[in-house]
Amino acid sequence: MSAWVAALALAAGLGAVAGVRPSLTLAVVGGATFLDWGLSLATPFAFLGAWPAIVVFVVLAMLESAFDKIARVDRVQDRLSLPYRLLAGAVAGGATVASGWAALALALAVGAAAAGLADATRQLSRPRSAPSQQAVVLMSAAEDIAAFLVALLCLAQPYAGAGVAAGLGVVNWRLRERRRAKYRRLGAVARRRPAG
């Protein structure tokens, strides 16, 4: 039973990272398998540990990171890449579960859900318009570094993945509550303002 819990915690953590940087997450999972760091992949996802797949995901991660640093295409890229983020979250979550089809299906769902949560939290936390291009570059670079380190943390300590997903849930809830409060205040101000 504890193996299932650890596997689902890892699926949640890797899915959450994939919601921020999908290609980087798959490259880290593949690299950890290729370097034999104690990670065994589920049979349908064994291709992730092959060096051609790792190279492809590294190149995709570099392109993804580069486009994320351009303020004009940032929002468009986020919308267009949402299906890929969800798919990468499902693959990253399911790839690390090797204990039957039921566990694999559950891990795929957990990974995709965590990726969706991470993407939504990322969208809420980023300002609608950045003060400068340098601010966009710094936010994106921080996301790159955080995604890489959190992916490594989850692989090293699978239970940390549950903490990552739970932390994202709390941050998402707080950001939504702050936004609701802001619009309630704006509505109250508009109602108090005299017409004319």
Over residues 129-149, the pLDDT tens digits come to: 666 778 778 888 999 999 999
The confidence score (pLDDT) of residue 195 equals 57
How many angstroms separate the CA atoms of 31 and 43, rounded?
16
- Is residue 111 within 8 A of residue 14, CB to CB? The reply is yes
* Residue range 169-178, pLDDT digits in tens: 999 999 989 8
- Whether 29 has a pLDDT exceeding 60, the answer reads yes
Instruction: Count the domains in the chain.
Output: 1
The domain containing residue 115 runs over which residues? 2-192
The confidence score (pLDDT) of residue 18 equals 94
On average, the pLDDT of the chain sits at 86
Q: Give alpha helix (H) positions in the chain.
A: 2-20, 22-34, 51-68, 71-95, 101-125, 133-156, 160-192
How many angstroms separate the CA atoms of 130 and 125, rounded?
12
**What's the pTM value of the predicted model, to 2 decimals?**
0.84
Residue 81 or residue 114, greater confidence:
114
Dihedral in degrees, nearest 10, Cα atoms 8, 165, 52, 96: -10
